[in-house]
Amino acid sequence: MRLRSLTLLALWGATVSAAEPGVDPDTGLRSWQTEHAGIQVRLTQISPNQARAFYLARGFTAAAVERYVAECVFMTVVRNVGDTPIQHRLSDWRYAISGQPPQAIRSKTGWDRIWKKLGENESARIAFTWAQIPATQTFAPGDWNQGMTTYNVPRDQPFDLRFVWRANGKTRSGLIEEVRCSNE
């Protein structure tokens, strides 16, 4: 486990941020939270059935919903727990399975191209956009936001997430290790 982490750290140049998983006793869903240098990031599993219900209720077709839940879905919370503003750009974040190169998180724009190709209606696409974590945001001390993120990884393989933010003109990064997708 540690060797894998060191390999990814060398590859990414990230700062380790330990995140112990918690488990919701009612749902069995796991979450990972870490706090480092003024930022707190939390990932909470969203089960495929939760994602199905959410997007079917917003007008997506069953085929589009199945396309979405084929990826791992997480509720992502970003919080400024420091005393200076921070900025994040989701396009800077990367995730990786051991032994594979890091990948960018699919953007809202990337998902919208898929939805248009599948013929999804505009109101469903707007609802989708509002439910995703913002692509960029500046957080004053105490500010926070949440939204969904997806990761194209097999359900049975853990992955690591490198999150990146800027504070005081410096780019910083942290790592959440051994994140696992919700089971079907």
Q: Hey, where are the domains in the chain?
A: 2-46+73-104+132-179
Give the phi and the psi of residue 38 in degrees, each rounded to 5.
95, 0
More confident residue, 12 or 144: 144
pLDDT of residue 19: 63
CB 86 within 8 A of CB 38: yes
Instruction: Taking residues 51-64, report their average pLDDT.
Output: 96
The yes-or-no verdict on residue 121 having pLDDT over 50 is: yes
- Whole-prediction pTM: 0.86
CATH classification code of 2-46+73-104+132-179: 2.60.40
